[in-house]
Amino acid sequence: MTSETNAAAGESIAPDIFKAVMQSVAASVTVVTAKGDPGPVGITVSAFTAVSADPPIVLVCIDKSGASLAELLDAPGFTVNFLPQGSESTALLFATRGADKFGTVEWDEPEVEIAGPVLHEAFQVFECETIERTEMGDHWVVYGKVVEAVVRAGTPLVYLNRKFVELPE
Ligand SMILES: Cc1cc2nc3c(=O)[nH]c(=O)nc-3n(C[C@H](O)[C@H](O)[C@H](O)COP(=O)(O)O)c2cc1C
């Protein structure tokens, strides 16, 4: 077992130790989309968390180095597309900077005018109004109030130990 101790106030563990721990935290894979200018933007996101059920509030963490960051932050809303098992190629597409993301997959306009595109492949969807943006370390945390949802049975695509894993149906 390895461990890292930093008792002194103000110090923290190294980023690679942080990432080594986080890689064993299983996460559902989503594609977060928004209406950008000149066109829609979307990125693969596993840092999605439910914050509150009443009112329904979620958050997503967006890396500051992403090419789509400014448009995701500027948009008045966003959509969380929950990917099902078998959607690895879509997850990789939306994790590829500069790819023709919306020319490759099928999608619809959201029900909520200010939200982002809804991917046909998503088995569940949250359409959100952005209510807060917080700069935190090397990420921005974007909070959304869920205005519309698509709820369907399905098995989520899960990312664990730096790879996609199959869950039993
Ligand atoms: C499984 C998986 C999970 C990811 N989770 C996040 C995440 O939570 N937040 C984030 O900013 N990027 C995440 N990424 C990386 C972005 O999807 C990637 O940097 C993407 O290229 C950003 O698109 P952009 O360059 O157009 O902004 C993830 C990638 C993968 C493959």
Asked whether residue 3 is assigned to any structural domain, the reply reads: no
Q: Could you tell me if the CB of 158 is within 6 A of ligand 1? A: no
Asked whether residue 9 is assigned to any structural domain, the reply reads: no
Domain total of the chain: 1
23-33: pLDDT as tens digits:
999 999 999 99
Asked whether residue 130 is assigned to any structural domain, the reply reads: yes
140-158: pLDDT as tens digits:
999 999 999 999 999 999 9
Asked whether residue 168 is assigned to any structural domain, the reply reads: no
Pocket test for ligand 1, best of 25, 58, 63, 97 (most atoms within 8 A of CB): 63
* Range of the structural domain that residue 38 is part of: 15-160
Instruction: Tell me how far the alpha carbon of residue 44 lies from the centroid of ligand 1, in angstroms.
Output: 5
CA distance 49 to 59: 5
Asked whether residue 91 is assigned to any structural domain, the reply reads: yes
Q: Could you tell me if the CB of 97 is within 6 A of ligand 1? A: yes
* CATH at 30: 2.30.110.10
CA dihedral 156, 161, 133, 151 (to 10 degrees): 0
Asked whether residue 166 is assigned to any structural domain, the reply reads: no
Token pair listed for 161: 């130990």
Global pTM reads 0.95
Q: pLDDT over 90 for what percent of the chain?
A: 91
Token pair listed for 130: 């952005």
Query: Dihedral of CA 3/4/6/11: which sign?
Result: negative
